């Protein structure tokens, strides 16, 4: 896999430099704080032209730097579920999310708040790719992401472990501004078009809605995630920071 862009690579250099196999720099790359950090980690570096860099990774906004890294390491769902009581995470379950930009944004949002883990299904869903990590801007270093074969079954496991399942719906849910959220929590977010699938919907203990008094439009899943995560973070009894 390839990371690209200054922020993504800077955060990886700080959080997990051993995962970086090699760094490719454009000849005119100018970010002394990054080059100094690369040097301190003894990571192999190759300098090249802009054209050479785009042959390594075809993408917009390379910003003169690309890093070859190991494959993304998903966290085991049961390992996350069975964390000690004082280190319990809040889960974000993504259902029917196929846009890499949205997934990357959700990872970044979760990392900013801290104390969250993300769960995505193995099939019919976007997984963590180079593009996702670019949008996450280093957030993947701080937020565990788990890949499960069956979302409904994973939610039922979470319920047996004491978690409550709260689904975000466009209408007919409790107003998120007034709802008292139960903890520990699994927050379920569906796609803009299809929402939460019927099988997953049947596992919900509570449905919450974000009231919108403006134009008859809708938030994309990443924007909605930021708002709902803020409310989860505001209400949860203890903040757990990912470590």
Q: What is the pLDDT of residue 170?
A: 84
Do residues 214 and 175 both lie within one domain?
yes
Whether this prediction's pTM lies above 0.75 is answered by: yes
Residue 102 Ramachandran class (φ > 0 left, ψ -120 to 50 alpha, else beta): alpha
Do residues 125 and 191 both lie within one domain?
yes
Q: What is the pLDDT of residue 241?
A: 54
CA distance 135 to 137: 5
Q: Looking at 21, 38, 69, which one is the last position of a domain?
A: 69
Number of domains present in the structure of the chain: 2
Q: What is the pLDDT of residue 230?
A: 97
Do residues 123 and 196 both lie within one domain?
yes
CATH number at residue 20: 3.30.1330.30
Q: Which residue spans within 49-148 are E strands per DSSP?
A: 65-69, 90-94, 116-121, 145-148
Do residues 135 and 61 both lie within one domain?
no
Phi, then psi, of 14 in degrees rounded to 5: -80, -40
CA distance 137 to 12: 9
| Structural domain boundaries, residue 15 | 2-69
Q: In this structure, are residues 111 and 7 in contact, taking their beta carbons and an 8 Å threshold?
A: no
CATH number at residue 221: 3.40.1280.10
CA torsion 104→105→108→109, rounded to 10°?
-150
Phi, then psi, of 164 in degrees rounded to 5: -105, 145
CA distance 21 to 111: 24
CA-wise closest residue to 91 among 138, 150, 159: 159
CA distance 167 to 200: 9
CA distance 44 to 99: 33
Do residues 89 and 55 both lie within one domain?
no
Do residues 154 and 207 both lie within one domain?
yes
Do residues 102 and 153 both lie within one domain?
yes
- The radius of gyration computed from the CA coordinates of the chain, to the nearest angstrom, equals 19
Do residues 228 and 165 both lie within one domain?
yes
Q: What is the pLDDT of residue 143?
A: 97
The per-residue pLDDT string of the chain (243 residues; one tens digit each, 9 = 90 and over) reads 999 999 999 999 999 999 999 999 999 999 999 999 999 999 999 999 999 999 999 988 899 999 999 999 999 999 999 999 888 999 999 998 999 999 999 999 999 999 999 999 998 889 999 999 999 999 999 999 999 999 999 999 999 999 999 999 988 899 999 999 999 999 999 876 678 888 899 999 999 999 888 776 678 899 999 999 999 999 998 765 554
Do residues 195 and 108 both lie within one domain?
yes
């Amino acid at each position: 896999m390839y990371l690209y862009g200054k922020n993504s690579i800077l955060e990886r250099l700080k959080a997990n430099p051993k995962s970086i196999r090699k760094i490719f720099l454009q000849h005119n790359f100018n970010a002394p704080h990054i080059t100094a950090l690369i040097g301190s980690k003894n990571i192999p570096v190759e300098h090249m032209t802009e054209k050479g860099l785009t042959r390594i990774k075809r993408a917009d906004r390379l910003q003169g730097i690309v890093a070859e890294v190991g494959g993304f390491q998903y966290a085991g769902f049961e390992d996350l579920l069975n964390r000690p009581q004082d280190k319990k995470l809040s889960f974000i379950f993504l259902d029917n999310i196929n846009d890499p930009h949205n997934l990357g944004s959700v990872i970044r949002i979760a990392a900013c708040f801290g104390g969250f883990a993300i769960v995505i299904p193995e099939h019919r869903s976007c997984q963590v790719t180079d593009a996702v990590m670019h949008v996450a801007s280093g957030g993947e270093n701080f937020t565990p992401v788990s890949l499960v074969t069956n979302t409904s079954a994973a939610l039922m496991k979470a319920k047996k472990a004491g978690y409550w399942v709260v689904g975000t719906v466009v209408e007919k849910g409790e107003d998120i501004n007034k709802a008292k959220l139960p903890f520990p929590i699994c927050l379920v977010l569906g796609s803009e078009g299809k929402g939460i699938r019927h099988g997953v919907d049947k596992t919900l203990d509570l449905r919450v809605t974000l009231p919108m008094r403006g134009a008859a439009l809708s938030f994309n899943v990443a924007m909605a995630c930021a708002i709902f995560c803020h409310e989860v973070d505001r209400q949860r009894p203890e903040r757990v920071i990912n470590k």
